[in-house]
Structure 1
Amino acid sequence: MTSSQPFSDDDTPEMRLRRAGIALPAAPPVPIGSFTNVRESGGLIYVSGQGPVLEDGSLMRGKVGGDTAAEAARGHAEIVALNILAALRGHCGSLDAVGGVVKLLGLVNATPDFDRHSFVVDGASDLLAQVFGRAGVHARSSFGVASLPNGITVEVEAIFERA
């Protein structure tokens, strides 16, 4: 999904998406609880935790370090980033209305001895940096958990700033 093609700081996020050939889902996954995908307050845009849900509704499930390899889970984190961007675009109308990424929180459904959480969540971080350029480099926390909703491998929540 990602490309190593360099982008100019003059490029907009929507231009970077097109040039990289990255297609976002038509709509973000529907929340599975009593919350909204996106909430905006004080110039910050909060995107609720998203998972690796494909457009057909199928979920990437598994225990990272067990039945799911770290490399596969990193790809799942890229899918999560696409869903985050779809939610963000749906809220803002265009990713060009977003000034950048402030912070991510990445959760990895991992075995107790798994220790490559940062590697997995880099799948989401790298894609967001590709789309937002320098403004996509963000603060982040990532860690393993015993389980995630519906047995998904990765969940990421994000905070963005308005342009």
Structure 2
Amino acid sequence: MPWRRTSAQTSGDASAEQRLRDHGIQLPQVAPVAGVNNVPIVRTGNLIFLSGLGPAKPGGGLFTGKVGRDVTVEEAYQHARLTGLALLAVLRTGLGSLDKVTRAVKVLGMVNAVPEFADHPKVINGCSDLFIEVFGDRGRHARSAVGMASLPFGITVEIDAIFEVS
């Protein structure tokens, strides 16, 4: 099956840390988690579960609004990319290096959208495309992209992810 990859097939891919440098990608500072009873990262065995994050503005604050009314698909794509960068920052902080990632496993992308909006996958591609840019073929993952009536703080997107690590 073409979507299945073994570690032998992906081990020759370039280093994730080197890809970040080569592509000029800067990861943001890790922000504190909004809740009191949850943590940003949990490892069990060789899996890492990352809590859902939203799109932080570079100067502070969050991108908010309803996609399909206040925010375009293109803007929301960029918000999903920013959220992906934040997820990678948490992952790097927890692991010490993104080179310990053997593959992205699953992404759940939630879009704060008007009821008639139907392009959720196009929005969450902002995060998925980033993971492939950073990890190469190891960045391909299973994914759900769904619409929500609202998200915390009115953010445009929230994304969580699962990674396999060595």
> Equivalent residue for 2:154?
151
Map 1:75-94 to 2 at 5 A.
Answer: 75-94=78-97
How far did 1:56 drift? 3.4
SS in 2 for 1:90: helix
Separation of aligned partners in 2, 1:55 and 1:70: 20
Counterpart pick for 1:121 among 116, 120, 124: 124
Separation of aligned partners in 1, 2:69 and 2:13: 43
State whether residues 28 and 86 of structure 1, in contact with CA within 8 Å, keep that contact through their aligned partners in structure 2: yes
The percent of aligned pairs where both chains have the same amino acid is 49
Between the two proteins, the alignment pairs up a number of residues equal to 155
Separation of aligned partners in 2, 1:107 and 1:10: 29
How far did 1:58 drift? 1.4
State whether residues 54 and 159 of structure 2, in contact with CA within 8 Å, keep that contact through their aligned partners in structure 1: yes
Map 1:61-140 to 2 at 5 A.
Answer: 61-140=64-143
Q: Structure 2-normalised TM-score?
A: 0.90
Answering whether residue 70 of structure 2 is matched by residue 46 of structure 1, we say no
Structure 2, unmatched stretches of 5+, are 1-11
Structure 1, unmatched stretches of 5+, are 1-8
How far did 1:54 drift? 2.8
SS in 1 for 2:115: coil
Separation of aligned partners in 1, 2:95 and 2:129: 22
Separation of aligned partners in 2, 1:119 and 1:138: 15
Separation of aligned partners in 2, 1:41 and 1:10: 25
